Amino acid sequence: MATIHIDGQPFAARADTNLLQACLSAGTDLPYFCWHPDLGSVGACRQCAVKQYSGPDDTRGRIVMACMTPVTDGAILSTRDAESLDFRSSVVEWLMTNHPHDCPVCEEGGECHLQDMTVMTGHHARRYRFRKRTHRNQDLGPFVKHEMNRCIACYRCVRFYRDYAGGEDLAAFASHNSVYFGRAESGTLESDFSGNLVEVCPTGVFTDKPFSSRYVRKWDMRGAPSVCVHCAVGCNTILNERDGSLRRVLNRYNGEVNRYFLCDRGRFGTGFVNAASRLRAPLLRASDGSLQATSMAAALALFGEALSTGPVIGIGSPRASLEANFALRTLVGAQNFHLGVSGIEHDLLTLTRDILRVSPARIATLHQAEQADAVLVLGEDVSKTAPRIGLALRQSVRQASFEAAAQARIPLWLDAAVRSLGTDARSPLFQATPAATDLDPIAVANLRLAPEDIARLGFAVAHCIDPASPQVVDLAEAMAGQARAIADALLAATRPLVVSGGQCGSAPVLQAAANIAAALHRTRPETRLMLTVAECNSMGLALLGGEPLDAAMEALEAGMVATVVVLENDLFRRVPQARLLHALARARHVVALDHLASATTQVAELVLPTATFAETDGTLVSHEGRAQRFFQVSFPVAPVQDAWRWLRDGAKAAHRHDLDWQHLDEVIADLCAAHPALTAMRGAAPDAGFRIAGSPIRSETHRFSGRTAIHANVSVRDAKPEANIDGPLSTTMEGYYGEMPAALRPYFWAPSWNSGQSLNKFQDEVGGPLRGGDPGIRLLDGDPVPWRYHDAIPGAFQPRVDALMVLPKGRLIGSEELSDRAPAAKPRIEPAALSVSPAMRQALGATTMLSLTGAVHAVAVVADPAIPEGVALFPAHAHPFPGFADPQWAETAAP
Amino acid sequence: MLSNVRTLWLTFLHLFHRSETVGYPETKPYMAPRYRARIILSRDPDGAERCVSCNLCAAVCPVDCISLQKTEDQGRWYPEYFRINFSRCIFCGLCEEACPTYAIQLTPDYEMSEYERPNLVYEKEDLLISGTGKYPDYNFYRVAGMAVPGKDKGEAEREDPPVDIHGLLP
Amino acid sequence: MTLGFGILEIVVSLAAMLSAAAGLTWVERRLLGFWQDRAGPNRVGPFGTLQAVADGVKLLFKQDWIPPFADRGVFILAPAAGMATVLLGFAVIPVTAGWSVAGHLNVGILFFLAMTSLGVYSVVLGGWASNNKFALLGGMRAAAQMVSYEVFMGLSLLGTVMLAHSFSLVDIVMAQGRMWFIVPQFLGFVTFLLAGIAETHRLPFDLPEGENELGAGFHTEYSGMKFGMFFIAEYAGIVLIASMITTLFLGGWLGPVLPPVVWFLLKTGLTICFFILLRAALPRPRYDQLMMFGWKVLLPVCLLNVAVTGAAILLFSPTG
């Protein structure tokens, strides 16, 4: 730590940072544009000029760019010196010479970093009388709007898009005043992280297109801290709502998880909350076989009757909260509770949970993954199944350049210089996957193998690292060499990371990954392991425990079930259609609780409308076992209500009195009492009684408008504000906003920092943890258990002549159930095609009849040179095989 | 004590002063053109709605009686609905001050009492007039950088034509 | 005096009293209007004279609301008690030598004092029965204020009694044949005037109502005709105090040329106008100032007045 003097006050500052970062960490309001905590400094905007003095006797000082000047012990700065103030106001005036008179019609207006900085710098009247340069805009696809006139050329967009996220199709064109940031020609941005441009851009060049279609200003939206439900990473988000509709999703910084960036699935996939396919009333199957809307009382009467008709089984859901699943489990009894995932997925999930519990190599947070200096990815295309992990792995390969920079005495924040070094110095990233991934270009080696071979490679790597781990017999020469190379690279690292997951549906792959991590951990104590799971609460389900879906199907088929209650789960995505229809037909009552109409609700006898994650509170457990609470931002109109309330009301209607919860906290208390492994989840966020200075946390900004007019067309009398009985957030602008637990932060705002950049005010230090600790409680970090290597090494993959091994392919949009239903994301769903090796493509032709999940459909066939023989990939859950998610042998036939 | 007596005396003398009361409605008072009463939405000189739905009037309204929703038509922003609850309005005029496009204006028409409160809720159709109001010449899109129907990029006041990004000349 | 004539006298007096009180509501607002350079009520009837009727109709047709939390019996009793005590007070007022409802009552002053003292109950009970913080505070203030000013009211009248050698109001008027008691009893007049204002809790001594801090004080919860009774009782109280001042200090019905009734009404009317002028001109004191003024200024002044009057009588009386 160094001591620097800012405007006469001494502050402690980290020596490896720059003066701008130090000033911001010290709470000084110093304007800046081009610097970004995760993108580093480039010195493009000249806005953060301060005066530095060489010593106490120096009275003249000199202007330096704070973002380009390292912190030195004893540095003396003045941010309020007249000359630097003048310099900064001149700079902003230049930047504004070409900025259009657009703020009223700009989506960034009111949360614009450029507005904030202009006001902060004191430039308020235009003196430049000449003409403004203009640009034509491009259509950048369904997610991002382009308005180039507003650009101030800070280069943040290309630095994020190209340098940070590895995108290729956004670039800087032309020169000097005319510099243009866009694509070579109009077209959809290809990167899976394009939405971050909205937050990265300090002004309104890139704005959120879906949000713009139902736009309101930042101050007019209620905010609530939430957790992304579109994959298992558990990125923290802020939901913004107004007038009953969810308007947008913003990144909510969590120093250990998503930090500054979200993927496009998380940011633009939430449209399902407002979708027309939402269920808004209970549906009852009428005598003519159609589903008819009915009253809450009638629905509950039937629900009660169904629950009284035993035996009852419950099918939970990996996309429902822990609380909702627990409510169902309590309702039907532990032995009748099914996790709602297929047998294969259930086994993998249980295995993943057990490995993560006992592995000596501890679970990597996303931030730790960014800092890994050697990475091995086994069998999982994380860039699609959990895109944010892919982005983190992209950063990990920069570790070598950081070391090179340190040797060359270049500070790490000097981004352009470090990146130049990085073109030659890259940390190793190895991928062993069945097909190409987005990370291929930055990987040292990409091995394209069938799942069994991936596992064998993994076991071989583990054996190379620790001979005590089981040896793979009859390993091919080439693979042995590859294993050796990977082992050497991993051993050369100090913070190696092993990434794997259940995408291949292969337990040995997971076991091999666990073996490698454990073997590495013996000599590399900072080894980390990262195993992804399929859905946002898969890990929560694994911790809750229950039978797989197959057991439910068997019980149904055996006719041993009178009533089946399906919680927020489209079973057609998990069980072959024919089998499911047959099984459900054997039950007397099929009750489906869901917020979206699905194939399952179509066949149910009774459908109860539940609340989406935006309308209820609950806890999700991420792939790293991090329990995180999401809070409701929207207050649904009855009869839509939380799933656990439906289940409670059903129990009441069935004259049971053991589920008499009134508040979420009571559900959580019972859950913690019933599941010792989950007890810590109670601490994921403060409970509903939490108050600061006697007040709840306010969820609306102090400037929230239209209260007395917004519903005046319905009733001129002011409506009573909604009551939030389950969480510590008030529903109005009344309440506390200031220092608060990070898990409750409903929006980021600080005086004179209206944009998301106000985040700096809520971190311990810029880029560090949120003040009060990053939210989330890790549930899988138990006491160390003696490690035993897994030794179930599979035989090598044997291609079959009569069938293809079809593996699920991840897609950003289209393979995940909820984002699939977001209208804004629809155009981004790639058409489904069967990817096969070129030789197989020749054999199959352009289309083939594929028999998968018990159905036969014609699908397009495309060649992918990377795919090994005998293996094919088809997008998971894609039309026409919504039930396809687990690898299986599939036959093909000529159409 | 004496001052109290003096007060009594001075007050008593007011018996012989002229009454200030104006006998409305028999006598109509003169209202200055900038008097702050009924709020209207004006149109720009081309006849299009001036309101661009920037929400500033709603934000500045101390009684929160303005509510609107943005929508867009070929790049031009409009309010999908624009609602003022006059039963809450205090005619402070801050909305007019905040309006960057001169769309929302207060007029001297103060006779807008109603027997039913819901009749005081004015929608966009009730607020929109066909003229420019107090500011005859201003057209926001002529000075803004956005392309709207009838004004392409580079055609606003003091704008250069769009840059050819393929040209390499400085 | 026949019974019939007595009843007629009562009816006429009551009718005159009540219509005077009602009319006063209009007179006061008109006068206040003039003193504040505005019109006052001028819409209903010629010059707004029917305003009182309109108000009466409005009050009659208002919902007669008794709050569910109120003490029902007492809540209803309180305004009636207020009205009754004020009206009873009029029984002893000699409008002319022969015209007084109670006839030539030899303890007229004591009866009047008794009735005004009873009036306190109305306010206190109203405030208490409303079961409302503001009303209770108003009632408390009224009790303290009226009990305090009761003392000097009695004391301030002792001078006139001493001079007239009688408690009978008729005798007191008759004793002013040579000189109105306002001259020898100026201090008594001033203290009685102030005490009278305080008794009727009129501005500037209307702290029991104190709109700006107590809502409407003791009658916060009252509406409709019950409020109307408090309202009328207040104006009737003004008339009563004004008539007492006329009787005790301004020579009652005595006067040249005009008939005695006219003299009485004229003097009373002017006194009432003075009351209204006080309201128009003076601000309300703070509560502690009011109490301090009563106990530390008015009480000594009254005692001094009694002592000086007594001494003067001893000094100058022919028997002394």
Residue B96 located in a structural domain: yes
Cβ distance of B160 and A132 shorter than 8 Å: yes
**A804-893 classified as CATH 3.30.70.360:** no
Q: Which position has the token pair 């020749």?
A: A842
Q: Which position has the token pair 């000594």?
A: C300
Q: Could you tell me the CA-to-CA distances from C98 to A75, C93, C261 in Å, in that order?
A: 105, 11, 11
pLDDT score at C147:
81
Which residue of B67, B72, B168 is the best one to mutate when testing the A interface, meaning the one whose CB has the most A CBs within 10 A? B67
pLDDT score at C318:
67
Q: Which residues, 6+ apart, have CB-to-CB distance to C277 below 8 Å? A: B8, B11, B12, C31, C35
Q: Which residues, 6+ apart, have CB-to-CB distance to C265 below 8 Å? A: none
* Alpha-carbon span C137 to A458, nearest angstrom: 85
Give the pLDDT band of residue C320 (cuts 50, 70, 90): very low
- Asked if chain C contacts chain A via 3 or more Cβ pairs within 8 Å, the reply is no
Cβ distance of C33 and B19 shorter than 8 Å: yes
Q: From the CB of residue A560, how many other CB atoms can be counted at a distance below 10 Å?
A: 12
B-chain residue closest to C283, CA distance? B4
Smallest CA–CA distance, residue A172 to chain B, in Å, is: 10
R_g (Cα) of chain C, nearest Å: 20
Smallest CA–CA distance, residue B11 to chain C, in Å, is: 6
Which residue of B39, B69, B86 is the best one to mutate when testing the A interface, meaning the one whose CB has the most A CBs within 10 A? B69
Torsion of CA A208, A135, B76, A118, to 10 degrees: 70
Cβ distance of B144 and A214 shorter than 8 Å: no
* Alpha-carbon span A617 to A239, nearest angstrom: 13
* Alpha-carbon span A146 to A181, nearest angstrom: 9
**Collapsed DSSP state (helix, strand, coil) of residue A275:** coil
Cβ distance of A101 and B144 shorter than 8 Å: yes
Q: Which residues, 6+ apart, have CB-to-CB distance to A283 below 8 Å? A: A291, A292, A293, A294, A601, A604, A606, A607
B21 touches chain C (CB under 8 A): yes
**Residue A335 burial by CB count (10 A; 0-12/13-18/19+): exposed, middle or buried?**
exposed
Cβ distance of A150 and B145 shorter than 8 Å: yes
Which residue of C31, C34, C274, C293 is the best one to mutate when testing the B interface, meaning the one whose CB has the most B CBs within 10 A? C34
Cβ distance of B11 and C33 shorter than 8 Å: no
Which residue of B3, B15, B18 is the best one to mutate when testing the C interface, meaning the one whose CB has the most C CBs within 10 A? B15
Which pLDDT tens digit goes with each residue over B83-92? 999 999 999 9
Q: Which amino acid is at A398?
A: R
Give the DSSP H/E element, type plus range, for residue A226: strand A222-227
A186 touches chain B (CB under 8 A): no
Mean pLDDT of C197-211: 79
Cβ distance of B4 and C282 shorter than 8 Å: yes
Q: Which position has the token pair 């004496």?
A: B2
B-chain residue closest to A217, CA distance? B55
Cβ distance of C282 and B7 shorter than 8 Å: yes
* Alpha-carbon span A776 to A625, nearest angstrom: 9
End-to-end Cα distance, chain C: 39
Cβ distance of C37 and B17 shorter than 8 Å: yes
Tell me which of B69 and A879 has the higher pLDDT. B69
Domains in chain B, number: 1
Peptide bond into B149 cis (omega under 30): no
- CB–CB of A805/A820 below 8 Å? no
Q: Which position has the token pair 């709470």?
A: A27
**Segments of chain A with pLDDT less than 50:** none
**Spelled out in words, what is the top-level CATH class assigned to the domain A2-96?**
alpha beta
Residue B17 located in a structural domain: no
* Alpha-carbon span C182 to C186, nearest angstrom: 5
ipTM of predicted assembly, 2 dp = 0.91
- CB–CB of C109/C257 below 8 Å? no
**Residue A315 burial by CB count (10 A; 0-12/13-18/19+): exposed, middle or buried?**
buried
Beta bridge partners of A833: A860
Q: Could you tell me the CA-to-CA distances from A621 to A228, A262, A400 in Å, in that order?
A: 11, 18, 33
Residue B92 located in a structural domain: yes
Query: If one looks up domain A276-341+559-674 in CATH, what number appears?
Result: 3.40.50.740
Residues 679-708 of A with CB under 8 A from B: 703-708
Mean pLDDT of C77-103: 84
Cβ distance of A708 and B64 shorter than 8 Å: yes
In this complex, which of B83, B154, B167 lies closest to A713 when CB atoms are compared? B83
Mean pLDDT of B55-60: 96
Residues 1-30 of A with CB under 8 A from B: none
Give the DSSP H/E element, type plus range, for residue B70: strand B66-73
Query: Can you read off the two tokens belonging to residue C138?
Result: 């108003």
Chain B residues close to C33, C-beta within 8 Å: 19
B65 in a labelled binding site: no
B18 touches chain C (CB under 8 A): yes
Query: If one looks up domain A346-533 in CATH, what number appears?
Result: 3.40.228.10
Chain A residues close to B98, C-beta within 8 Å: none
* Alpha-carbon span B113 to A852, nearest angstrom: 71
Given a contact as 3+ CB pairs under 8 Å, which chains touch C? Answer: B
Q: Could you tell me the CA-to-CA distances from C288 to A347, A386, C191, C279, C292 in Å, in that order?
A: 83, 75, 18, 20, 6
In this complex, which of A109, A175, A178 lies closest to B54 when CB atoms are compared? A109
Smallest CA–CA distance, residue B24 to chain A, in Å, is: 29
- Domain of B59, in residue numbers: 39-143
- CB–CB of C124/C71 below 8 Å? no
Segments of chain C assigned E as strands: none
Residue B57 located in a structural domain: yes
pLDDT higher than 70, residue C53: yes
pLDDT score at B18:
87
In this complex, which of C34, C39, C278 lies closest to B14 when CB atoms are compared? C34
Cβ distance of B8 and C281 shorter than 8 Å: yes
pLDDT score at C319:
59
* Domains A346-533 and A804-893 agree in fold: no
- Where exactly are the structural domains of chain A? 2-96, 223-263+686-774, 276-341+559-674, 346-533, 804-893
Give the pLDDT band of residue B76 (cuts 50, 70, 90): very high
pLDDT score at C1:
52
